Chain A
Amino acid sequence: MTYDFILYLAINTAIVLVTAPLFVSLIKKVKAWTQGRQGPSVFQTYYTIAKLLKKEVIYAPTSSRIMRVTPLVNMAAVLVAALFVPLVFVPEPAFGIGNIILFLYLLALARFFMALAGLDAGSSFGGMGSSREMSLSAIIEPTTIIVFAALAFVFKTLNIFDMFAHSVASGAITTPILILIGISLFIILIVETSRIPVDNPETHLELTMIHEGMILEQSGRNLALMELSAAVKLTLLMALLVNLILPFGLITTLTLTGLLIAAVLFIVKGVVLAGVIGLFESSMAKMRFFQLPSLFAMAFFFSTLIIIIEVFA
């Protein structure tokens, strides 16, 4: 393990933890603006997490160890997954870090624990959330894997680091295929982070909620971890999208100035994408749950089409 790689581990984790709450608040802000409201401050998510850390944790008398370890495991899995997506600096891959399939399955690990914790408190809201989350994640999975296969096909590698390095080396020349993949990745981003039209992150109504239902029984520092890990997951998927399509600013050799410029550029790119997500969410209503499979089927055929175009081109 090189010195650069250890530095990368530290830098990437730090940046993702610092920027993640910002993007979440930004999306909320954009949504508030489109509704003609002023909205909460862009730093609100930081305040919320700090406040939650100071509160006590409440457990149901029936809850088991699952409830207690889930926030930890969830956060750890998402943080390790965060090491798979370089935000600003792309080192040489080592130990298979950056493997796109492992990345996907680390997120699945977090989801597995979260869904179990949803069932643990014995409330029907949690069960509802878990059931819906596992169902949706199962039927979006073929699309996700096809999109990732398309990525692997285009870049001729399975490693996200190599993809980014390739993207940087070829400059900001965005090919049509890449734009098509970008659209598919955007759909996956919306689904994986529980946003409209799949889920509504703002409501706590049993008819609509999925992700919020699962974490309804979490409180205090545990809730803070759950909120933060959701924010980190959002940032990761955003970074995957922007760094593939707009790779400018990413550095492959470590210098302090380069790092600073890259970090600023990453935040700028992230802010723009957050704005797009906010506008996208505001422009449509939540879909009925059982209409979602047809949306996913559309995304699936769309991404299969990309590969078929690429295969026979």
Chain B
Amino acid sequence: MEAGLFLIAVGLLAAGFIIPLVLSGRDMRIVRILALSCTILASLFLGLVSAFILFGGDALAFTAYQPFYGFSLSFVIDRLAAFFLLIIAAVSACVSLYATEYGEHLGGESRRNLFAGCINLFILAMVLVVSSANTLSFFFFWELMAASSFILVMYEYDRPETRKAGIFYFIMTQLSTLFVLFGILALSAQTGSFAFSAAGSVATPLLVVAFLSLFVGFSIKGGIIPFHKWLPYAHPASPTPVSALMSGVMLKIAVYGLVRFLLDVFSPDLWWGILILLCGSLSAVLGVIYALKEHDIKGMLAYSSIENIGIIFMGIGLFVIFSVTGLPLLATMSLLGALFHSLNHALFKSLLFLSAGSVVHATHTRDIEQMGGLARRMPWTSALFFTGAVAIAALPPLNGFASEILIYIAIFSSITVVAPLLKVLLLVCLALFALTSALSAACFVKAFGSVFLALPRSAESAGAEEVPPAMLIGPGILALACIFLGLCAYQLFLLAGFSVPLPDMLFVGLLLLLMTVLIGIFLYFFASRAERTCETWGCGTPFQQASAEYTGHGFSEPLDIIFSSIYRTRIRNERVFFDQKNCIFREGTAEIRLMKVFEEYLYLPLARFAVRTATRISRFQNGCLDTYLLYVFITVIAVLLFLGWF
């Protein structure tokens, strides 16, 4: 039955892609609604399938299409795949619900049909990547996912920033595909097959190369620093549902790939785990430090995705380290932490992207310095964004905390058992992890404070209105899921058959509620109930002004200065004076320049190198027939010599 449900879901997604494509000439809302309801329905079926398999069902395996011997399109949905199917289904359903309304406000008339269709194609590709039974079909759908997401990113192609972002994204995602392909080919050279099967317990050089190239491929897709640069370009440029899908789900597909290959194919060495852990820690810390500096709301969320993928990679790295050093219990806990954080991040990040999209829709700007005061103007959206912010700042009793505490507990408990040098490494990572999570709290206080609190800082923000209900229901479901997963994490793990030393958050949540109620009762009986509304004292100014408020820049200034060596901000200050004692100021210039470290030291040199090499090679192709004849002649001679020699 599950196989049937799965096929129906795939069929629905395909229909949702084809219908608007066929009717692409007609700008009718009903077409888009039809396409998106296909997505929602398919997501429901997929959710059912994955729930069956997750909570006790058997793995599902079947072959759908076999064009020739040795290659088949076959699917296996085991618990790991089912878990990621659940992520895809949950986010896709809510995002599609949101897109039914949001899509209508996009420009481009009948192009919007293609938009709805491509969303279906994108989701279909992700579903099939996750359920692929062999590496070749994994690769095929991986590329389909990359291509369909590129089309979606380029939706507003008439804007120059979108074109730049699109090209950046295209190159990065193709690099990722290239590395994944190389890794898969190296693997098949070692094992002689394209199956997800163990490739031997001895790490031969070929296997190490395969792992490294797969790791780089997945890191690029997942946005691990230093391969992260495409995220802060592609996310702000693409329409909100696409950002939510890419950040919420597509990054998790990279996580899935890594986990799948580590579990089924490789038998890792210790240094693989250390590599993954270090890359994860670095991404987590740098990601959040850059997020603090970002004032484009979607760019900020993109950097925060880099941070969270870093945390997930930390969990995977710990899993490898612990399973190699013979600590299966801690290894399971770290892996569960990483996977649970994948789910949680998918939920709260898509929630944040969707509600940020609503804010951008209402204020027509992405700059948080132009917003403010929206909590009173958009009460529902602000409540949704707030839930997401609390969840992503890893505060109890929401879900971000439940997964981060698993990783904390794994590190804390491991410190007593692992080898001394490993202990030092784990302690460093622990400190970085703590720093990350505290900084992300600071980052979201800043974001929520600048966007929603105090006075509006622009006319658009002052005139903002609440978005229509369809743009609230989708994120609303995600917010409820965040709360539910946070409160019932312990019970859910028990239900899925894992006993983890999590605190019972349901009890803590009840205690919080109980205390709040008790305080409320106490205040009701023993405190004055008088209230008055009165202007905030503004140091003597006649009325409160938005310009006197603390800005987002101002808020992050202390951290900017503390981490200035990481930002590498250059402040140039030149002054000319009238007198020789430098007292009377005549004129001067000042400039604050934010260095894009990775772009200037890594990406651009690489790009320049590629261009130089290409220029050199292109000299061979000069368009002159004589030269080409010469090439043919030389080739023939070379082949003859070669054949004669051997």
Interface residues, chain A, CB within 8 Å of chain B?
A: 53-62, 64-66, 72-73, 75-77, 79-80, 83, 95-97, 99, 101-102, 105-106, 108-109, 111-112, 115-116, 119-124, 126-128, 130-132, 134-135, 137-139, 141-142, 144-146, 148-149, 152-153, 156, 158, 217, 220-221, 224-225, 289-290, 293, 300, 304, 307-308, 311-312
A112 touches B424 (CB 8 A): no
Residues in B whose Cβ lies below 8 Å from that of A308: 424
CB distance from B230 to the nearest CB of A (A): 27
A77 engages B445 (CB within 8 Å): no
B441/A97 in contact, CB under 8 A: no
Is A152 a contact of B396 with CB atoms below 8 Å?
no
CB nearest neighbor in A for B444:
A112
Q: How far is the CA of A121 from the CA of B454 in the complex (A)?
A: 6
Chain B CB within 10 Å, residue with most, of A64, A97, A148: A64
A residues near B531, Cβ cutoff 8 Å? 56-59
A106 to B316, CA, bound (A): 27
Name the segment of B64-72, B554-562, B595-603 touching the other chain.
B554-562
| A102–B435 touching, CB < 8 Å | no
Q: Does B393 contact A (CB under 8 A)?
A: yes
A127 near B554: Cβ-Cβ < 8 Å? yes
Stretch in B200-208, B213-221, B411-419 touching the partner: B411-419
The 8 Å CB contact of A57, one of B507, B530, B562, is: B530
Contact indicator per residue, chain B 543-577, by CB within 8 Å of chain A (1) or not (0): 01010111000111111011000000000000000
Which 10 pairs show the lowest CB-CB distances between chains A and B?
A: A127-B550, A96-B503, A56-B530, A122-B454, A119-B449, A145-B434, A141-B438, A64-B375, A134-B442, A142-B431
Contacts of B450 in A (CB 8 A): 119
Name the A residues within 8 Å of B454 (CB-CB). Answer: 62, 119-122
Q: How far is the CA of A106 from the CA of B396 in the complex (A)?
A: 6
State the CA gap A152–B453 with chains docked (Å).
39
Q: In angstroms, how far is the closest chain B Cβ from the Cβ of A48?
A: 14
**Inter-chain contacts of A131 with B (CB < 8 A):** 446, 550, 554-558
Q: Which residues of B contact A134 (CB under 8 A)?
A: 441-442, 445-446, 555
Contacts of B373 in A (CB 8 A): 62
Q: Is the Cβ of B535 less than 8 Å from the Cβ of A158?
A: no
Contact A53 B528 (CB under 8 A): yes
B453 contacts A66, C-beta separation under 8 Å: yes
Q: Which of A55, A77, A119, A304 has the most chain B CB within a 10 Å cutoff?
A: A119
Q: Flag if A130 contacts B449 (CB, 8 Å).
A: yes
Q: Is B504 an interface residue (CB 8 A)?
A: yes
Complex A-B: 22 CB contacts under 8 Å: A53-B523, A59-B532, A62-B376, A64-B375, A64-B376, A64-B453, A66-B453, A80-B512, A105-B396, A112-B441, A119-B453, A121-B536, A127-B449, A130-B445, A138-B438, A139-B562, A142-B431, A146-B431, A158-B409, A289-B558, A290-B561, A293-B562
Q: Give complex CA distance A116, B451 in Å.
A: 11
Whether B427 pairs with A149 at a CB distance below 8 angstroms is yes
Q: Which of B405, B527, B530, B535 contacts A60 (CB 8 A)?
A: B535
A59 to chain B, nearest CB (A): 5
Cβ contact within 8 Å between B535 and A61: yes
**Contacting pair A116 B503 (CB below 8 A):** no
Taking a contact as CB atoms under 8 Å apart, the answer to whether A55 and B503 are in contact is no
- Interchain CA distance A290-B562 in the complex, whole Å: 7
Cα distance A123–B558 in the bound complex, in angstroms: 18
> How far is B516's CA from A123's CA once the two chains are assembled, in angstroms?
28
Bits for B442-474, please: 1 = Cβ < 8 Å to A, else 0: 100110111011110000000000000000000
Chain A residue at minimum C-beta to C-beta distance from B511: A80
User: Is B515 an interface position by the 8 A CB rule?
Assistant: yes
Contact A95 B550 (CB under 8 A): no
User: Which B residue's beta carbon lies closest to that of A54?
Assistant: B528
Bound: A289/B261 CA distance, A: 48
Bound complex: CA A126 to CA B445 (Å): 13
- Chain B residues lying within 8 Å of A312, measured Cβ to Cβ, are 420
B439 at the interface (CB under 8 A from A): yes
Contacts of A293 in B (CB 8 A): 562
B437 at the interface (CB under 8 A from A): yes
Q: Say yes or no for B430: interface residue by CB 8 A criterion.
A: yes
Contact A65 B508 (CB under 8 A): no
Residue B613 lies at the interface, judged by CB distance under 8 Å to chain A:
no
Question: Considering the chains assembled together, what is the distance between the CA atoms of A106 and B523 in angstroms?
Answer: 22
B549/A66 in contact, CB under 8 A: no
If A53-B528, A116-B453, A135-B558 touch, whether A99 touches B512 (CB-CB below 8 Å) is no
Given A97-B508, A119-B453, A131-B554: A220 and B528 interface contact (C-beta under 8 Å): yes
Considering only CB atoms and an 8 Å cut-off, how many residues of chain B contact the other chain?
82
Q: Please tell me if the beta carbons of A64 and B382 are within 8 angstroms of each other in the complex.
A: yes
Q: Is there an interface contact between B528 and A72, defined as CB atoms closer than 8 Å?
A: no
CA distance A126 to B548 in the complex (A): 11
Contact A57 B503 (CB under 8 A): no
CB distance from B405 to the nearest CB of A (A): 5
A304 to B528, CA, bound (A): 49
Contact A80 B515 (CB under 8 A): yes
Residues of A within 8 A of B375 (CB): 64-66
* B642 close to chain A: CB less than 8 A: no
Which residues does chain B contribute within 8 Å of A158, judged by CB atoms?
A: 409, 412-413, 501
Residue among B433, B449, B502 with max Cβ neighbours from chain A (10 Å): B449
The residue from A73, A96, A111, A221 contacting B523, defined by CB atoms under 8 A apart: A221
The one of A60, A97, A132 in contact with B534, judged by C-beta atoms closer than 8 angstroms, is A60
Q: Which of A56, A77, A99, A221 contacts B532 (CB under 8 A)?
A: A56
How far does the alpha carbon of A285 sit from the alpha carbon of B452 in the complex, in Å?
Answer: 37
Which residue on A lies nearest to B561, using beta carbons?
A: A290
The verdict on B520 contacting chain A, using a C-beta distance below 8 Å, is yes
Chain B nearest CB from A153 CB (Å) reads: 5
Known: A53-B526, A105-B401, A145-B433. 5 other contacts (CB 8 A): A64-B452, A66-B453, A75-B519, A102-B396, A146-B431
Given contacts A142-B432, A153-B416, contact A95 B503 (CB under 8 A): yes
CB-contact partner of B395 in A60, A109, A139, under 8 A: A109
Complex CA distance for A124 and B438, rounded to whole angstroms: 23
* Chain B nearest CB, measured from A181 CB (Å): 14
What is the CB-to-nearest-CB distance from A309 to chain B, in angstroms, rounded to a whole number? 12
| CB <8 Å contact, B431 and A145 | yes
Partner of A122, one of B394, B413, B512, B536: B536
CA distance A72 to B516 in the complex (A): 6
Complex: A297 Cα to B393 Cα, angstroms: 23
- Answer whether A217 and B536 are a contact pair too, CB < 8 Å, given A62-B373, A62-B544, A106-B396: yes
Q: In the complex, how many angstroms separate the beta carbon of A297 from the nearest chain B beta carbon?
A: 11
B408: interface (CB < 8 Å):
yes
Smallest CB–CB gap between A67 and chain B, Å? 9
Check A311/B420 contact, CB under 8 A, given A59-B533, A158-B409.
yes
Contacts of B530 in A (CB 8 A): 55-57, 220
Complex: how many Å from CA A132 to CA B559? 9
A135 touches B415 (CB 8 A): no
Q: How far is the CA of A97 from the CA of B520 in the complex (A)?
A: 23
Known: A58-B532, A72-B516, A142-B432. A126 touches B511 (CB 8 A): no
A62-B454, A77-B512, A80-B511 as given contacts; A108 in contact with B405, CB under 8 Å = no
A248–B456 Cα distance when bound, in Å, is 56
Complex CA gap A132/B549 in Å reads 15
Are A62's CB and B413's CB within 8 A?
no
Residue of chain A at shortest CB distance from B401 = A105
B390 at interface by CB-CB < 8 Å: yes
User: Nearest Cβ distance between residue B517 and chain A, in whole angstroms?
Assistant: 9
A307–B446 Cα distance when bound, in Å, is 34
Contact with A along B280-311 (1 / 0, CB 8 A): 00000000000000000000000000000000
Closest to A65 in B: B375
Q: How far is the CA of A134 from the CA of B603 in the complex (A)?
A: 33
Q: How far apart are A58's CB and chain B's nearest CB, in angstroms? A: 5
- On chain B, the residues within 8 Å of A146 by CB distance are 427, 430-431, 434
Q: Are A141 and B528 in contact (CB under 8 A)?
A: no
Of all chain B residues, the one with the shortest Cβ separation from A290 is B561
Query: Counting CB contacts under 8 A, is B56 at the interface?
Result: no
Distance, CA A285 to CA B502, complexed state (A):
42
